[in-house]
Amino acid sequence: MRKTLLAGALALAAGAAFAAVPNNTLVIMHGSDYPTLDPGQTYDTGSGELVENIYETLVTYKGKSVSELEGLLATSWNVSGDGRTYTFTLRKGVKFHSGNEFTCADAEYSLRRNLVTNNHDSGNWFIAESLLGTSANAADDPQAVTWAKISNAVKCNAQGQLVLTLPARDPAFLVKLAYTGQAIVDKKHAASIGEWDGTEATWKQWVGKDLTDSNLSKRPSGTGAYMLVRRDTATTVLRAFDGYWGGKPKIENVIVQTVAEQAARLEALKKGDADFVETGPRSVLSQLQGVPGVKIYDGIPNNVSSAIFMNQNIKDPAILGSGKLDGKGIPANFFSDVNVRKAFAYSFDYDRYIKEVQLGKGTKRTMLLPDMFFGYDPKVKTYTYDPKQAAAFFRKAFGGQLWQNGFVLRASYRANNVASQTAMEILKANVEKLNPKFKVELQAKPWSEFLKSSQEGKEAMILIGWAPDYADPDNFLYTFYHSKGYYNPRANFKDALLDKLLDQARQTIDPAKRKALYSQVGQRAYEQSYYILMPAGIGFLAYQDRVKGVEENYNIMASGITGNVWRLLSKAGL
């Protein structure tokens, strides 16, 4: 029976015509590719959607919650009195897709592997921060990252429990373990196909190694509900794992396809040739509403924080023009003057952006933190579009020189991203209206170039967002505001007070005290106007109504477009 069903699924993946996707099969269409199936390198939502269904983590989010965790491969855990040692009791009777039995050795190997291979393009930096006290690997920080420290931080005890020991307490540690990249891999299988063997003798050969196209990515073996059948550049086919410890899923096959053209994806959804598709912006809803068989799940909370960055140390002379306050360019420290930053913040028309880009389905935020997360303070002040205030602060900037001489600012946005382009055009128009000597020149850049140049501090002004790795305010506020945060190279500022508050919050266990610290962070960030905070659009999902369990189980921390792990879904008639 399985061969017949799988043959049908493979035919569908190859392009055979069906009036609708078979009941035993789920078809998902993405607009872009998914680089890897190796958890150790997974740091994008496309890859994450596949990895979190092939593999499993020790803990996961409970139901729709972003604050409550439950065991997955761990059945229970306890924390020492000083908050530095976590001991996990692991689930028994679990098999990998290879047939190997899951043991503590696999969990130990997986987390050690992440600490060893930790590189700039993976999500292992934050687990390294917790377990080793640094986000670096052994090549970048050989004194902080040694084999002794790695093996002492992650080890199995005599009872077969996993013991994780931190150099300092971390209130966000458990939610970090729920991140897809910390999934448990099959040690025996990995070593047998040429991955790291897990020993001290060979670990240095794997430091910082890029695992994107690893052997494990090509031949994954997890404990998840679905196992890989085949993968090529456009299609990945997976099948339900008969030996899954949680019981075989109701949907037998899953096909994930890359279809670049938005119109083609939407047409597939309308015709029933796909169950889920990456739709694009809210404006597409007009094409889908009322289509028979298509259901719209609207009002999904937005877990992304986006901002327009104002780089205080611009490192590319080519975009500075004259490099002076002479009306022909800007100096590298143009945004180091708080008056300039406030002037730009008052120049953005937030309500217009909500109306035009988010079609009225958006809301202003007080902080660069999703409003459903712990630590968000709705009472922090916000900026509004106010040309008079903008002009007043521009007049104060650089002792009046800026207003007198004018400037030419070259800003970039992600190519083919209509929302980003519109936002930057709104800002450009409003700034230029204030003074005929003010010029803002916009340039579209391909995503890869945009990411690289901004990470190198070469962009003066960009719009970019941050999706959570783990559901904790630290993942956002430290990222944006700390001088050692992931986004600091794009903004290049150091605020001693913010650093102090954020460091304190990382060490504070008491929720009330921690929340108070984050409120102070929000207020300080407002006063200094380090970013222009973008309104958060309300999310939606379009899918075939024959798929059941979508809205009941939707969790905003799930990767990809379905908002679910697939084993929770079923179809009418199954």
DSSP 540-559: EEEEETTEESHHHH--TTS-
Q: Which residues pair with 307 in a beta bridge?
A: 464, 533
Do 372 and 510 fall into the same domain?
Answer: yes
Do 169 and 312 fall into the same domain?
Answer: no
Do 449 and 319 fall into the same domain?
Answer: yes
* SS3 call for 164: strand
pLDDT at residue 34, rounded to an integer = 87
The DSSP element (H or E) to which 318 belongs, if any, is: none
Flag whether pLDDT at 44 surpasses 90.
no
Task: Please give the Cα distance from 25 to 249 (Å, whole number).
Answer: 11
Residues 6+ apart with CB under 8 A from 327: 405, 406, 407, 408, 437
pLDDT in tens, 103-149: 999 999 999 999 999 998 899 999 999 999 999 999 999 999 999 99
Contact 75, 69 (CB under 8 A): no
Share of the chain above pLDDT 70, in %: 96
pLDDT in tens, 352-381: 999 999 999 999 999 999 999 999 999 999
The reply to whether 505 falls in a domain is yes
Do 180 and 43 fall into the same domain?
Answer: yes
Among candidate residues 70, 74, 55, 103, the one with its CA nearest the CA of residue 241 = 55
Q: What is the mean pLDDT of residues 176-203?
A: 98
Contact 213, 36 (CB under 8 A): yes
Contact 266, 278 (CB under 8 A): no
The CATH number for 171's domain is: 3.90.76.10
- Both tokens of 461, joined, read 């002004």
**Higher confidence at residue 336 or residue 18?**
336
The reply to whether 489 falls in a domain is yes
Do 318 and 227 fall into the same domain?
Answer: no
Distances 374 to 51, 290, 377, 471 between C-alpha atoms, Å: 27, 37, 9, 8
- Both tokens of 251, joined, read 């949907």
Question: What value, to the nearest 5°, has the Cα angle with vertex 146 and ends 126 and 174?
Answer: 30
Flag whether pLDDT at 159 surpasses 80.
yes
Q: What is the mean pLDDT of residues 195-202?
A: 98
Contact 249, 566 (CB under 8 A): yes
The CATH number for 480's domain is: 3.10.105.10
Flag whether pLDDT at 511 surpasses 50.
yes
pLDDT at residue 418, rounded to an integer = 85
pLDDT at residue 272, rounded to an integer = 96
Flag whether pLDDT at 11 surpasses 70.
no
Contact 415, 448 (CB under 8 A): no
Among candidate residues 379, 334, 369, the one with its CA nearest the CA of residue 481 = 369
Q: What is the mean pLDDT of residues 467-471?
A: 94
Contact 317, 323 (CB under 8 A): yes
pLDDT at residue 237, rounded to an integer = 98
Domain boundary, last residue among 232, 267, 291: 232
pLDDT at residue 20, rounded to an integer = 64
The reply to whether 475 falls in a domain is yes
The reply to whether 518 falls in a domain is yes
- Surface-to-core class of residue 297, CB atoms within 10 Å of its CB (0-12 exposed, 13-18 middle, 19+ buried): middle
pLDDT at residue 1, rounded to an integer = 36
pLDDT at residue 574, rounded to an integer = 62
The reply to whether 162 falls in a domain is yes
Domain boundary, last residue among 185, 213, 232: 232
Describe the strand order of the beta sheet including 226-231 as a list of residue ranges: 226-231, 235-240, 253-258, 25-30, 276-277, 539-544, 294-300
Q: Categorize the per-residue pLDDT at 573 as very low, low, confident or very high, splitting at 50, 70 and 90.
A: confident
Residue in this structure with the two tokens 């979508």, named with its chain if needed: 550
Do 214 and 341 fall into the same domain?
Answer: no
Domain containing 369 equals: 305-537
pLDDT in tens, 234-288: 999 999 999 999 999 999 999 999 998 999 999 999 999 999 999 988 989 999 9
Contact 459, 315 (CB under 8 A): no
Among candidate residues 509, 478, 400, 409, the one with its CA nearest the CA of residue 170 = 509
Measured on CA atoms in the order 478, 67, 513, 173, is the torsion positive or negative? Answer: negative
pLDDT at residue 18, rounded to an integer = 41
Do 195 and 322 fall into the same domain?
Answer: no
Flag whether pLDDT at 5 surpasses 50.
no
Mean pLDDT of the chain: 94
The reply to whether 571 falls in a domain is no
Q: HSE on the CB side for 155, CA within 13 Å?
A: 13
Task: Please give the Cα distance from 499 to 484 (Å, whole number).
Answer: 8
Flag whether pLDDT at 3 surpasses 60.
no
Q: Which residues pair with 308 in a beta bridge?
A: 463, 532
Do 479 and 351 fall into the same domain?
Answer: yes
Flag whether pLDDT at 12 surpasses 60.
no
Sequence length of the chain is: 574
pLDDT in tens, 477-494: 999 999 999 999 999 999
Do 343 and 467 fall into the same domain?
Answer: yes
The reply to whether 316 falls in a domain is yes
Flag whether pLDDT at 451 surpasses 90.
no
pLDDT at residue 121, rounded to an integer = 87
Q: Categorize the per-residue pLDDT at 430 as very low, low, confident or very high, splitting at 50, 70 and 90.
A: very high
Do 492 and 363 fall into the same domain?
Answer: yes
Total number of domains constituting the chain? 2
pLDDT at residue 21, rounded to an integer = 81
Do 313 and 214 fall into the same domain?
Answer: no
The reply to whether 84 falls in a domain is yes
Do 226 and 319 fall into the same domain?
Answer: no
